[in-house]
Structure 1
Amino acid sequence: MEPVDIRHVTFAAGPVRLAGTLGLPRRGEPVRGGVVLVGGSGSSDRDNDTFFPPLRRRLLDAGFAVLSYDKRGVGESSGDWRAATLADLAADAAAALAFLRSRPEVRSDAAGLFGHSEGGWVVLRAATGRDDIPWVVTSGCPATTPAVQERHALARYVQGAHANSQAHANSRSAVERVLALYDRLVEAGRRDADFATAAALVDAAGAPPGLAYYWDGMDDRLWTFLKRKQDHDPVRDLLGLRCPHLAFFGGADPLVPVADSLRALGGAACHPSRHRRATLTVEVLPGADHRLRLPGATEPAPEYLDRLTRWLRQT
């Protein structure tokens, strides 16, 4: 069989130039549709570390064209994601979708958006209120605010770090101190405190080691980005969807409050303002992590990839 067609591409998103990889199914095979893959938080590139290559391969094998791109300011893309808002990142995703739809091989009415983790918030924002998007997929994307999600992840991390402590009361107190400091930082962000003020809060608390999960690498630009997005409420975008939505979660995801997200998704799906086309399908893979890997695996579980391609073919 002939190999798939992999191309380096660039496209504009306003003043930003985004670079990415476009994959087309094997020559002579029908193209079922197209998928734009949007990566997660931080400096995610077109491969989203190692998460997107196996997805790309499976989607190409299933007959879908696939486009992924370096986030603005990452790899070969211009701009700076730390200076962006989630709306800016959503505009980038929309530009990627428009580029994919412009390809003669791709049916424009069969190309949609896939977002992983923070990328889920991005694609929901890009899709909300639009009638021309056939579907949206989120994977490991909390249906809570970033502040709530980050607190959950921090709590799980610190609890795990103290799990083997013999002094249970002391370890519980350490967790509570770290979370209390995190809460003070969130409130500082809501007051639009600058980075120096936030750093002073951390120093005054003795910079507890457990906070490193959240605080390591923090600087003025990252602090500004995080405080700008911390209270983003994805439910507003969920209520504005006008297309089917598939939401994937790993049942053992330590980064996402899965149960809280399921409740929020259910509430949005049942809201009287929800568009009749905005059906919701939720898949929770027991034992899987944030990247839908089962214990000991290095790639997403085969059943995850199977369910994803099956849903896309049927939608």
Structure 2
Amino acid sequence: MVETAEMHDVTFTGGTVRLAGVLGLPEQTGPARAGVVLVGGSGPSDRDNDTFFPPLRRHLLDAGIAVLSYDKRGVGTSSGDWRASTLTDLAADAAAALDCLRSRPEVTADTVGLFGHSEGGWVVLRAATARDDIPWVVTNSCPGVSPAVQERHALAHHLRQMHANGQTDTDTDSTLALYDRLVEAGRRDADFATAVRLVDAAGRPPGLAYFWAGMDEPLWTFLKRKQDHDPAPDLLGLRCPHLAFFGSEDRLVPVADSLLALGATVCRAGRSSRASLTVEVVPGADHRMRLPHTTQPAPGYLDKLTRWIDRT
């Protein structure tokens, strides 16, 4: 095990934006065993992806694996605005981070792969499909369904929890129907003012705050642009091994439906012979691979990750 590591602030260019992050290099003789770029989830995710990446980073470094993670566009010290981007833009940023890590003399270039959490899974799948030189990709709690379907699932769970907690002023069916109307409005490219009128006309049900809180015109524009993203074409286009992690108690992602979607996609003809799929469903784990009432990764999760990287 590597007990210490060198940490470096790094900057690199992704398209028209300047991205900033942190590079961890294991202190050891010779090059790192492998390298990984960590890509955060939805919203204003920074290089630590809130609290999810630090224990992951430590484990990878202790295993002799170099790690680079970065602030999303417009977050931390990165320029740009993630709300003005597309998933393809974010995938280009992940590819730029990959090239940054590969350029380091302490890392063997062809060992560097991509790890994407939640929305970041869609991002790394898009980045990997666009290139033929990525040795492997890991998705973590990444829905196999569209953002609109995933968000509805999460909202429905949130509303059920509100009822369980005695907040009976929330009508689950009417709130979900309002969510569906907002999704349809997004498909018609309705502007933010139209969306606000829909919410106001429905009396701004309290349960919708899970989805609607903080909504403004830039975020509405981003969400309606992304809402019907289908991960299947990128899964079909992969030309490298893929490890997909899910937590069995993830309430934000429809895990069973995602597994069905993954299975249906990988069984279609025409996939590359290099594109194997390994699925790990971690018992009892949530969206961030933690057990209930803990802040640390579920037992075995991190070891499964590093063992798979070593074998691939």
Q: Which residue of 1 aligns with 2:112?
A: 111
1:279 alignment partner in structure 2: 276
SS in 2 for 1:302: coil
TM-score (normalised: structure 1): 0.96
What is the deviation of 1:302? 3.1
Give the alignment of 1:137-176 within 5 angstroms. Answer: 137-165=138-166, 174-176=171-173
Shift of 1:14: 1.5
| Uncovered stretches (5+) of structure 2, i.e. residues with no partner | none
* Match of residue 204 from structure 2: 207
User: In structure 1, what is the equivalent of residue 246 of structure 2?
Assistant: 249
What is the deviation of 1:3?
A: 2.5
* Partner residue in 2 for 1:188: 185
- Write the distance in 2 (CA, Å) between the matches of 1:310 and 1:302: 14
Distance 1:164 1:34 in 2: 44
What is the aligned partner in structure 1 of residue 297 from structure 2? 300
Deviation at 1:166, TM superposition (A): 9.9
What residue in structure 1 maps to residue 22 of structure 2? 21
* TM-score (structure 2 length as normaliser): 0.97
Change (3 A) 1:129 1:10: closer
Q: Which runs of 4+ in 1 moved over 4 A?
A: 164-167
In the alignment, does 2:233 pair up with 1:221?
no
Q: Percent identity?
A: 74
SS at match of 1:162: helix
Q: What aligned pairs does 1:6-17 form with structure 2 within 5 A after superposition? A: 6-17=7-18
Deviations 1:113-162 (A, max 9, x none): 00000000000000114221000000010010000000000000001111
CA contact (8 A) 2:30 2:106 kept: no
Q: CA deviation at 1:29?
A: 5.3
Letter in 1 for 2:8: R
Per the alignment, residue 87 of structure 1 pairs with 88
* Alignment partner, residue 76 of structure 1: 77
Q: Distance in 2 between matches of 1:302 and 1:107?
A: 30
- One-letter amino acid matched to 1:135: W
How far, CA to CA, are the matches of 2:291 and 2:226 in structure 1? 30
Mean CA deviation greater in 267-276 or 37-46 = 267-276
* Pair 1:186–1:98, CA change in 2 (3 A): same
1:312 corresponds to 2:309: yes
Structure 1 stretch 94-103 or stretch 25-34: which is displaced more? 25-34
In 2: Cα distance, 1:148 partner to 1:166 partner = 24
Q: Distance in 2 between matches of 1:140 and 1:293?
A: 12
Does 1:269 pair with 2:270?
A: no
The separation in 2 between residues aligned to 1:59 and 1:286, in whole angstroms, is 22
Are the aligned partners of 1:109 and 1:132 in contact in 2 as well (CA < 8 Å)? yes
Query: Does structure 2 conserve the Cα–Cα contact (< 8 Å) formed by 1:268 and 1:274?
Result: no
CA gap 1:49/1:86 in 2 versus in 1, 3 angstroms: same
CA contact (8 A) 2:14 2:92 kept: yes
Distance 2:131 2:273 in 1: 13
Equivalents in 2 of 1:129, 1:81: separation in Å?
20
CA contact (8 A) 1:85 1:228 kept: yes
CA contact (8 A) 2:4 2:62 kept: no
Please list every run of 5 or more consecutive structure 1 residues that lacks an aligned counterpart in the other structure: none
